[in-house]
Structure 1
Amino acid sequence: MFLKFFLSLFIISNAVTAKHTKRFANLVQNLKHNESSYNKSYYANGNVKTEGAWLYYDRPEYNYSKKNVLWLEYYKTGTIKIKSQYDKFGNLLQKSIYTLQGHISSHLIAVLIDSELTNYKTYFIRNEEVLITFSVNNYMFGLDIGKVYLREKAY
């Protein structure tokens, strides 16, 4: 399972490319993580609650951690609740939210990632200044048609 998870991480990380602006790419070009780990947490009933990878960045003031590539969150029943994909700097690239019945409810895709920060050393301290523009698709399950359909699309 562990190997299967990381193989999917590799495939997804190559399939999803970040939409970083040139300014953002210049800002983070010197940021390097020093280690990574795989995390898995469980509900009391033994089912997986969350699983995903973390990247760790040592900075003089603090040791920062960021979610990396694929993160999965589950309902207590074991059904996937949220599937999120992050870039190597912890920015959300896309997120799919599912109903308890396993139908997609929403899908967000990062269209553009930018920041007005000018010094990479402040990236973790002032991370709220990372600007991400999303495209959002909301879906609904139509009982009368027996399938999921696109209800709304927004940018």
Structure 2
Amino acid sequence: MQVFKEEQEALRESILENSFLKYRTEPDKAIRAYLQHVLNIVNSHPIWRKVFIEKEHLELKILRSSEEEIKKICRDNVETILPFFEEWSAAGLLVDKPARILAETTQAVLSIIHFRNEIEEDDFPEIMDIFIDLLAEYVVRKEG
């Protein structure tokens, strides 16, 4: 768990730079970039791949981690992206939902990774694209 936390912290800046900071005034693009960047890391980074995709490692991670530790990681991830949602909400760029709920929903989309092994391998990227598009389209306030 400690190695995972250290790796997560090391990648956090890269993830933010390539998503929320890059598209600071375009929430739909920022959300898409964030989720796609995290998925890319999970697919290509050896530690994240072991934690999220290779089932035996996921089970080992859960067995060695308290439920509270796992909840804290999720809360920390939401806290990292929440300021962007609050900024967009204040600017009237988001639908009329609490910024925290939208940030938590964005983070929750990534939980589908845990079911990757139960989904046909070729279908998984397309399924994730659909979820990402649905979320990105939903959260942005439509004009008119």
Same fold (TM over 0.5): no
Structure whose residues are more often strand by fraction? 1
Structure whose residues are more often helix by fraction? 2
The structure whose Rg is larger is 1
Query: Highest relative contact order (Cα 8 Å, sep 6+), 1 or 2?
Result: 2
